[in-house]
Structure formats: structure tokens, C-alpha cells
Structure 1
Amino acid sequence: MEVEILGQNDTEVGVEIFDGRQIGHVVHVGWDGEIKKHYADDYPKYREGRTFEQQRIMTQVEARAKLAAQREFPEAEIVNPEWIPEEVERGIEALQTMHVDDFAEQFETCYEMVTAPERFEDVTEETAQIITQPYIVDEDNDIEFVPTPIIQYRKDGEVQTTHRDSRMSKYDTSPGYPAKKFTITLPPMEFREGDYEFPDGFQVFLVEHMMAKIRDIYRHVGEEPPEPYADIDEELPGKLLTTEDKEYYDDDF
């Protein structure tokens, strides 16, 4: 997509974007990330009149406009850092440079949840859905803190989570705080024998998982990922949902 910042005022940033069909869009992005206006004469004005393909492009353009505004004004808080490629690269560097002994201590529970969720109370292989492992990266790109991971699972038809009193709730991630939170989000997985063995192999796997997140962020905004993210295995999980997935949208298409 071709992108140009048109200007800004106290409430919003104007962004012009030409999508993959070379159709022009003008998007007004609020400083809080809200889309104020989106003009595109060649698309139906209202969502209910659009096809899935049209809605996908409109949504990707809005996501791309927000990312462009965030990059232009890095001190603003328009986009969550976990959806900014340059920020996620910080999270990758922190994982790569963490000493393997420290990694083993901090991420062992995450490994157990991913490979054997049934070991945890009330969870079975059939009911486990997603493992969520946050980690906090300081301004020097070092991992400062690794909260307790959780498993999302189903019980009696309801979505439940383990470790509801996770230490994450006690950690300061308020706006303006120099540390950033990044999140590993994985389904339960069974690795082939010899693949991604704990700890050093699993450390490599988490780096690749975060690289897959960057791959998916680019696709989320309607762009092909650059190297080396384009080469990440398509089977390697990254973002749970992006604008490429029909499940991302509330409407039925």
C-alpha cells in the first residue's frame, strides 16, 4: 500500500492510502486509535453493503493508517505495541539474548502448559485451547519480568482460565511506563521427538513464534511481510486472528 501522512490536529491524524487495487482512501485516525472517518468513493459506504473482500480491504486500510500514524508520531499511543513490528522486534531480541539458564527458570511452566496442559488442575487435552504467556521487556531490551502463564480451557460449556490471580495483575504497564508487555499465545502442541527440546530448543521456538507474529502483523495491514519474516513456516502459529480471517469480523459473509 502507498501511504502518506496528510496532517494532524489536536484530535486526529489524516492519512491517505492507495490500496492494492490503487483505489484511494483518506482515513482520520484519533490519537487514541479510533477511526474517526474513512472516505473511499469506490466502496459501498455502509458495511452491510460490502462483500467480505471489500470489508477486508477497508479494515486493512484502517489498520495500516493507524500503524502509519503511530510510526509518524512514536510518542503517541495509537497502536498497541504488540501490533507494531518494530516493537515486537524488541521482544524478539529480548528472548534471543536471554541466558538459557534464566530462560529455563522463567519459561518452564509455559513449556509444560504448551506440551502437557492436562497436568494442570481442571484442564484436559480436549478442553485446553490457548496458552498465554506475557513477558515484560525493559528499555534496554532485556526481559525484566515473566508473569505466571495461563491456560484458557472450556468446562461445562464455559470458557475458564487457570491461575486467575496471575502476578500480571500486580505489574505496572500503565501508559508512559518505559517497559513493554509482549505476549506468547499458543495452542497446545506436540513437538516431534528431538524438535524444540527444552530449554534451548523451546527458546528458539518462541523466537520463531514471535517472528510469525510480525509476519501476521504485515498481513493484518494488507502488506507482504519483508525478509526474514516472509520465510517463517506457514504452519508456525503467530497472531490468533488478523484481518485475513473471517472470524475476525462480527458479520457473516
Structure 2
Amino acid sequence: MNMNAKIIDQDNKGIGVRVHDNDETEHTVAVGFDGEIQGHSQDGYPDDPAKRTGKENEYVSQARRYAKYYVAKEKGYDVLPWDRDTAAMQRVQTAIESLSDEDFEKYFGTYFDQINSRLPNVTAPVPEPDAVGDDEFVLYLLDVYLDEAGRIEAVSDIHFLYLDDNRERQVVLGDQPLNRDPDARLQLKPNYLPSLEVAQEFFVYHLRCQIRDCYLLRGEEPPEQYRVIGPGLYDAATRYLYEDRPYRPYHKLHADIPGYSLEFDYGFGEQGKEMAKIAGAVADNK
């Protein structure tokens, strides 16, 4: 992967960025100060998205994401979507890691119970939407807010993401305690987490996977510490599933991807990793 960019213009509406993608195609992207793409031209693919291959469409999208990232990095403008801000994700990682056992349970105990709620004899703290059947796909979402000192200020109620009968994404939001964007959103499916201690480690690992996805979605190879296998951003996972996209299934626990590894063991050491890989493969075959 070899994305690169250069700022070529700036006016009172935004910034122009020239991006070269991983297919060596040149893009000119105008990024507004509000983060919106004001214009985009390129010389390598059809202008009509319907006439592009899946890979070509993804290269176009990567160029836009990379342009926003580059403007944020080089100019310091707040143009990144909040859920693609890796610096904020890193701060939330640190905040979760530093919590005492008591404070972790205070902020994340309900979410921990929700994740385990499809296990026998476990009652969900928050009932799933009626449209979600037994064993059907659902994600439990939890927004995390930090204060100015980088400590956890609040978490939201649990939200739900599921697919309706037409396979369209539906989101049911719970209460959001603060009138601003969160610093990160946990987005995990039902699972078995044996203890709160393991959950604390897993939530930090999950954010590590989200950071991995931010790099990949803008066409970059992540730094070595983020070359891990596991669940990250749902939007990324939906793209990884298509064979005609320039990705591998990084979200799948049993994926065999050179240079990437599963580094979370569910509290059971190497045996835990192997069990997770087997469970992932079984789930794929259902």
C-alpha cells in the first residue's frame, strides 16, 4: 500500500488535495472545512460509479478518506468523522485501560452483561428490538465520552444495530447523555466474555481493531501494533466481505492473513486463541 498526497490549494471554502491511490491513479479532492467532499476528479476510472468495478469504487472512496485524513494531519482542521478519529480512539483505549475494577464495572458492567446475554441463564439488561429474532445478527453499541483530562465522563445507554428483512441496516438508539459526538463507539456482537477483567482487555483490543480499520479504509497498511485480527468497525467489516474489494477478512477471528495475528486470548492463553478461531470458523459455516 502506497497512498500519498499533497495539498495543492486552499480558499475560503476548503482545501484541495492531490492524492495518488494504490493503483497509481491520481485524484484531485476538494475537502470542505466541514469535512464534506466538495469535488472529486480522477483520471483512472469511469466517472459513473455503476461502470466501475468494486475495487475501483473502493479506490475512489479510499482517496476521499485519505484526503480528509491528510488535511486533518497537515492542517489541523476538524474534518474527520468522529468515528474515524484514531487519536480519539487511542485516548479512549488509555482511559479504559486505566479504570479500576470498580469504575470499569460502573461504566461498562451493563454492556458486559448485554454481550453475554445470549448465553443460557443470562438475562439481557436491555431487551433486543422485536425485529431481531433468536440467533439473528445484532450489534450492541456503546458510546464513550471523555472529559478534557482524558478520563471517562459518561457512556450512553446501549444502542442496537441489526438488519431488517431486506438486509437494510437499522439502528435503534438508546439515551445519549451528552449533547456532542462521543469519542468512540464500541460495536460488538453477542459473545462469551468470562469476566469483567477479560472484558476490559477485550474492549481495548476492539478499539485497536477499529484503529486498524481506519488505516485500511483510507488505503494504508496499519503500523505493526495494529496488524491484528478481530472485530473492529462494522462499516469496515461489510467491505471486507466482498471479494472484489482490495481487502482481506481482518475482522474474522480465524482469518489467515500474512503479517496479521489474533492477539486476544479471552483469558485462556494460546488455547483461548485456538478456541476463538474454531468458534469463528463454525459461525461462518452456519
Gaps of 5+ in 2: 243-286
Task: Find the counterpart in structure 1 of residue 78 from structure 2.
Answer: 77
Contact preservation (8 Å) 2:88, 2:184? no
Contact preservation (8 Å) 2:19, 2:27? yes
Partner of residue 148 from structure 1, selected from 132, 154, 157:
157
Contact preservation (8 Å) 2:156, 2:174? no
Contact preservation (8 Å) 1:137, 1:182? no
Residues 12 and 247 (structure 1 numbering): CA distance in 2 closer, same or farther, change over 3 Å?
farther
**Counterparts of 2:91 and 2:220, CA distance in 1:** 21
Task: Find the counterpart in structure 2 of residue 206 from structure 1.
Answer: 203
Contact preservation (8 Å) 2:159, 2:174? no
Question: Following TM superposition, by how much is the alpha carbon of 1:71 offset from its aligned partner in structure 2, in angstroms?
Answer: 1.9
Task: Find the counterpart in structure 2 of residue 8 from structure 1.
Answer: 10
Task: Find the counterpart in structure 1 of residue 145 from structure 2.
Answer: 136
Partner of residue 241 from structure 1, selected from 235, 240, 244:
235
Residues 64 and 144 (structure 1 numbering): CA distance in 2 closer, same or farther, change over 3 Å?
same
Question: Following TM superposition, by how much is the alpha carbon of 1:100 offset from its aligned partner in structure 2, in angstroms?
Answer: 2.0
TM-score when scaled to structure 1? 0.81
**Counterparts of 2:154 and 2:71, CA distance in 1:** 30
Question: Following TM superposition, by how much is the alpha carbon of 1:27 offset from its aligned partner in structure 2, in angstroms?
Answer: 0.8
**Counterparts of 1:61 and 1:99, CA distance in 2:** 41
Report the AA paired with residue 242 of structure 1.
A
Report the AA paired with residue 190 of structure 1.
Y
**Counterparts of 1:154 and 1:53, CA distance in 2:** 25
CA deviation map 1:78-112 (0-9, x unaligned)? 11232022221111111111222100122111011
**Counterparts of 1:119 and 1:155, CA distance in 2:** 24
**Counterparts of 1:38 and 1:200, CA distance in 2:** 47
**Counterparts of 1:72 and 1:137, CA distance in 2:** 25
Counting only pairs closer than 5 Å after superposition, residues 1-253 of structure 1 correspond to structure 2 as: 1-74=3-76, 76-117=77-118, 119-120=123-124, 122-123=127-128, 125-127=134-136, 129-152=138-161, 161=172, 166=175, 168=176, 170-173=177-180, 180-191=182-193, 197-230=194-227, 232=228, 234=229, 236-242=230-236, 245=239
CA deviation map 1:207-238 (0-9, x unaligned)? 000000000111110111112001x2x2x210
Contact preservation (8 Å) 1:215, 1:229? yes
Report the AA paired with residue 37 of structure 1.
G
Report the AA paired with residue 11 of structure 1.
K
CA deviation map 1:34-81 (0-9, x unaligned)? 21221211211221221111111011111110111122232x331123
Residues 24 and 160 (structure 1 numbering): CA distance in 2 closer, same or farther, change over 3 Å?
closer
Gaps of 5+ in 1: 175-179, 192-196, 249-253
Report the AA paired with residue 180 of structure 2.
T
Contact preservation (8 Å) 2:187, 2:234? yes
**Counterparts of 2:150 and 2:103, CA distance in 1:** 15
Residues 69 and 7 (structure 1 numbering): CA distance in 2 closer, same or farther, change over 3 Å?
same
**Counterparts of 1:218 and 1:109, CA distance in 2:** 31
Report the AA paired with residue 90 of structure 1.
R
Report the AA paired with residue 201 of structure 2.
V
Residues 5 and 153 (structure 1 numbering): CA distance in 2 closer, same or farther, change over 3 Å?
closer
Identity of aligned residues (%): 25
Report the AA paired with residue 133 of structure 1.
L
**Counterparts of 2:164 and 2:63, CA distance in 1:** 38
Provide the aligned length of Structure 1 versus Structure 2. 230
**Counterparts of 1:15 and 1:139, CA distance in 2:** 32
